[in-house]
Amino acid sequence: MPQLEIGGRRIQYSVVRGTSRRYTYLRFGSDLALEVVVPRGRRTDVEALIRERLDWITREYARAADSKRILSRDSVMFDGRPLKLVHLLAPEEGLTPRPEAGEVVISASDSRRAKELVRRWFLKETSAYVTKKVRECGAVLGVSPRRVDVREMSKWGYCTRSGRLSFSWQLIALSEPIREYVVLHELTHLIEFNHSRAFRKRLGTVCPDFRAREKELDLFLPYGRKEVW
């Protein structure tokens, strides 16, 4: 596998063809290896691409190395705490959370299916959480989004000018205070569509310690974080 040398450290990287004919993106895996996804059907100068994005690669590698990972080969973060992934080889797929025992039991014929099973579990849990929390927090702020969804995205949350709120399927990995902060942050954008002083003042009325929660959120690295262009 080819390697990059950044700050005296060697970073392995791989090149794969994506499903898009247009977009190229970079992302770090849980093992800190870099994946370069290039458009299918197009020739791409990967070395030139890496040189062009070297600042982003350097910055994101440093962040990834110091961050708490949501999903790795042997563990997954749920409700703010790491749980051990226990793999059982079985013909029928299934996932059984056992937080009281500090583990998640995954049954599958191939251990590589763990990521998809965790994604389905998180999607269900995050959707239930967001539905309830947006309703509760929206009532406190006096706002109601036009639409709310949970999907795969590089940010924890996002608000559009049309009033649509989107949240990462990985949100349930965070502790309750941090999840709540993300929901309150996006709901506040329905009032102040910016990060101005007025936005921070409004957010502070419902989340007085939002700065401390922001700092804690920065410690977590979403699985599959990437840059697209």
What is the reported pTM?
0.74
What does the pLDDT read at residue 115? 87
Local confidence band at 225 (pLDDT 50, 70, 90 cut-offs): low
State the total domains in the chain. Answer: 3
Is 226 within the bounds of a domain? no
Residues in contact with 60: Cβ distance below 8 Å, sequence separation at least 6, in sequence order: 26, 28, 225, 227
Q: What is the mean pLDDT of residues 126-140?
A: 97
14, 49: one domain:
yes
84, 131: one domain:
no
Single out the residue in 55, 90, 112 at which a domain terminates: 112
Look up the domain containing 89 and give its range. 75-112
Give residue-wise pLDDT tens across range 27-64. Answer: 776 567 788 888 887 888 888 888 888 888 888 777 76
Whether residue 28 contacts residue 223, with contact meaning beta carbons closer than 8 Å, is answered with no
Whether residue 92 contacts residue 117, with contact meaning beta carbons closer than 8 Å, is answered with no
171, 187: one domain:
yes
Is the pLDDT at 100 greater than 60? The verdict is yes
What does the pLDDT read at residue 24? 84
What does the pLDDT read at residue 229? 39
